[in-house]
Structure formats: C-alpha cells, structure tokens
A and B are shown apart, each in its own frame.
Chain A
Amino acid sequence: KAGVTQTPRYLIKTRGQQVTLSCSPISGHRSVSWYQQTPGQGLQFLFEYFSETQRNKGNFPGRFSGRQFSNSRSEMNVSTLELGDSALYLCASSGGTPDNSPLHFGNGTRLTVT
C-alpha cells in the first residue's frame, strides 16, 4: 500500500507570495491532518479534514487554509507569506476514528521564504 505522498518536496518563495501544498493520503484513509515543523516550535497542528470538512483547527492565522477533495486528497494554502512561515509542512492521514489511529506521515514539503 502506498504511503502518504506530499508534493512538492521543496519550495522557495518570496515574502508576500502565496503557496499551495498537496497531499495524497493512504488509500482508504479519510482523515488528513497538516502540521508545521520548525526547530524552535516543534510539531504544531494546523488543521484536520475528514470527508471534505474541516473538523479540527489549530492556532494559526487565517492566512493558513486548506481543503479536502472527494478522493480524500488535500491541499493547504498559505497566503501573504512571511519569513516565519519557513518550515517543514507535514501531512498525515488516518482512518479518522478514535479506533483507527495513529497518524501516518508523509515526508513533508520544505518551504523556504526569502
């Protein structure tokens, strides 16, 4: 079974631009979560989607948004990029029910904002 796939692996953007990251979950997984990982803050939860609906949201500004499609694939968008948005963005999928944990992570998208 293929794992979680994230594209692209690397991105370099300029302040003020916007970016879209893509995630394909494990087949059959209905929940997709997004995390931001930085050396200073560790793994921070962004949001979770389940059956095309945002089910949980972390404490990030509205510049961070996401969506999920009917095939469970997900995208996240960051608008008006800031230098502090430079990070590894990780997507994780799971069955999405309490008995269907844990999370399975992709290898991330490394975003650098200059």
Chain B
Amino acid sequence: GESVGLHLPTLSVQEGDNSIINCAYSNSASDYFIWYKQESGKGPQFIIDIRSNMDKRQGQRVTVLLNKTVKHLSLQIAATQPGDSAVYFCAENSSPGGSYIPTFGRGTSLIVHP
C-alpha cells in the first residue's frame, strides 16, 4: 500500500543551527500534511500543517515546505534549541467518509547538542 516515510532516522545538530527534517510521501491524492513532535514519555504534539494548495507555511521558528511534484515534505526549525530534541513525525491525511485519518511516517529523531 501507499505509505509515508522519512529519509533520515536520526539528525544531530548543534544548538543554534537550523534543522531540516525531510519526509517523502507516495499518495498523490493526499491533500493535507502535518508535522508532529513527540518528546519522551509524551504523546505526539501538533507543530504545523499545510494543505496541498500551498507550498510553504511558516510558524514560530518552523517552516514547512511542500513539493507536490516530487511528493516531498520538509520541516525546517530555525535556531534549534535543546528543547527541540524529540522524534518528529510527518503525516499525510486522506479523507474517507469526510474524516481525516492520517498515516504517519516512521519518525526522525532530532538530537540537539548544547
């Protein structure tokens, strides 16, 4: 079946650097994409989302880029901080029956060194 995957399982960066986490998706019919952050012992936390009619969306220190041509999604974190250390999941949404049921990627572990 179709799936969402991540290019890098682990990303190590220095505090203050910019981080880029990548995600490939295979379902060309997906129209909604979300990034989640999961810290140890907690559930995934929503970071930012983007719909397929956009190619870029910015939040506080985070930017999501969507390239529908190559089915690629990325999350950019500016001035990465130790508190950003977590596992990051991308998810794509399909909408059977009017409900969005996201399919999650496997996750990338971001490690920020002080």
Contacts and interface: CB of A to CB of B under 8 A. Distances in A.
B104 interface: yes
Contacts of B102: 45, 102-103
A4 B43 contact: yes
Given A43-B89, A101-B93, A102-B49, A90 B44 contact: yes
A56 interface: yes
B99 A48 contact: yes
Interface of A is mostly: strand
Contacts of A92: 43-44
B93 to A, nearest CB: 7
Nearest to B35: A102
A95 to B, nearest CB: 10
Interface of B: 32, 34, 36, 41-46, 49, 89, 93, 95-107
Q: Can you list the 6 inter-chain pairs with the closest CB atoms, starting with the nearest?
A: A105-B43, A43-B104, A107-B43, A42-B106, A102-B34, A105-B44
